[in-house]
């Protein structure tokens, strides 16, 4: 689904407002995301706010359990390394599904964060399916030994 500028601003403000006005945001056309970059001093405060806003936090060890639709839409971004996160929340009646991509830079002093409005949605059933698929793969591996 496509959103006009006013709708996008409303959606993005639901995330950027709780994060405060010390972050500077800009539009990144290539990926159709709202982008900010900031120094390590803001890391803990920003992470605390994100964890309060978002229902799911994906990292290297649990990204395989994420819904198929999320992995398909985010593509290579789901190939997470240590300290990279993707925060997501499913669509509601008022807002579309949203993802925040958290990327520490290699030197550890700077972080970038992108907010993306997702075209696809996921629900509790697809979250459960991801968990069940992982469990069934583990059981299958154990039985094949």
Tokens 């009646």 belong to 93
Chunked mean pLDDT (size 10), the chain, 145 residues: 83 94 92 93 95 93 87 90 93 89 89 93 62 58 67
**pLDDT value at residue 30:** 87
**pLDDT value at residue 127:** 58
107 contact partners, CB below 8 Å, separation of at least 6: none
**pLDDT value at residue 131:** 55
Length of the chain: 145
Domain residue spans of the chain? 5-143
**pLDDT value at residue 86:** 96
**pLDDT value at residue 140:** 56
Tokens 């970038």 belong to 112
- In order of 69, 79, 132, the CA distances from 43 in angstroms are 29, 21, 33
| pTM (two decimals) | 0.82
């Amino acid at each position: 689904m496509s959103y006009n500028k006013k709708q996008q601003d409303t959606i993005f403000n639901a995330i950027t407002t709780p994060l405060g006005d010390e972050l500077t945001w800009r539009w990144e056309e290539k990926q159709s995301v709202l982008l900010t970059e900031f120094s390590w001093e803001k890391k803990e405060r920003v992470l605390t706010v994100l964890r309060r806003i978002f229902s799911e936090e994906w990292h290297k060890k649990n990204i395989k359990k994420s819904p198929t639709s999320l992995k398909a839409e985010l593509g290579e971004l789901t190939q997470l390394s240590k300290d990279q996160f993707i925060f997501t929340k499913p669509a509601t009646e008022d807002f579309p599904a949203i993802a925040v991509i958290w990327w520490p830079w290699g030197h550890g002093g700077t972080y970038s964060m992108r907010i993306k409005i997702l075209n696809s949605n996921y629900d509790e059933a697809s979250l459960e399916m991801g968990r069940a698929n992982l469990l069934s793969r583990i059981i299958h591996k154990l039985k094949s030994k």
